[in-house]
Amino acid sequence: MIFLDTNIWYNYFASLEKTTSQIKKNFLKNQREALEIVKLIKEGKVECCITNFALMEIYSVIKTVLINSKLLYDGFLPGEFGRAKAETDIQLPKESTGFLNNFVYEEIKNMCKFDDVEIDYNFLNRFLKKCGLDVSDAVLLYQANKMGCEYFITTDNNIIKTAEKLKNLKKPKLKIKAIKPKEFLPKHSI
C-alpha cells in the first residue's frame, strides 16, 4: 500500500491541465512520474491510501495555484495581492471549481482506500518534536504510517531524510519508507 504526498497529486493534476507544454523540463518529468503512479493505482497494481486531511490539503494547494493563475492572468502578482484577500475576492470560474471538486473529492477519493485516521495528539506532538517537519507533512506521514502503508511517495527530500532518521528511533517508530517516485516506479511498473 502507498500514500502519495500532496506534491505527487499536484503533479498529476497539473498534467491534466492544457498549459503544461510551457512548464520546465524537470516539472514535466515529475508529472510523467505522477501519471505513471496514478496509472498503476487505476490498473489495480498498487493500492493507494488517502485521508480527509490529505484531501483537504490537496484541495487547498490546487485551489491556491488556480487563484494565483487567475491573478497572473488578471495582471497581478500573487504576492502583491495577498493570499487572504485573493481567497475572499477572487472568484474562480464555475468550471474550475467544479473540476477541482470532482478531481479531489471524486476521482482521488474513489481511486484510493479511504480512512479517516484518528490522530493521537500526544503521539503527534512527540512526533513533531522529533521530526522537524511542518505540521501538514508530519500529519500526512503519521497517517500513512498509521494506515500501514509501505511507502510514502514524495518529491520532498526533507520528508525522505526525516523518515529515514525516525526509522531508527524507538518512539516515535516509523515503519513506512519515504521515497521518490523514481525509486518507486522501477520496482512496481510492468
Q: Could you state, in order of their start, the residue ranges of all structural domains in the chain? A: 1-190
User: What Å distances lie between residue 139 and 32, 144, 164, CA to CA?
Assistant: 26, 8, 16
Q: What is the pLDDT of residue 11?
A: 80
- Could you give the C-alpha distances from 72 to 29, 75, 118, 142, in angstroms and in order? 24, 5, 39, 36
pTM for the structure as a whole = 0.81
Question: CA–CA separation, 121 vs 6, rounded Å?
Answer: 22
With a cut of 70, list the residues of the chain below it in pLDDT.
16-27, 70-93, 169-173, 190
Q: d(Cα 6, Cα 151) in Å, to the nearest integer?
A: 14
pLDDT value for 77:
60
Query: What CATH code would you report for 1-190?
Result: 3.40.50.1010
Q: Residues 5, 144: contact at Cβ < 8 Å?
A: no
Q: What is the pLDDT of residue 154?
A: 94
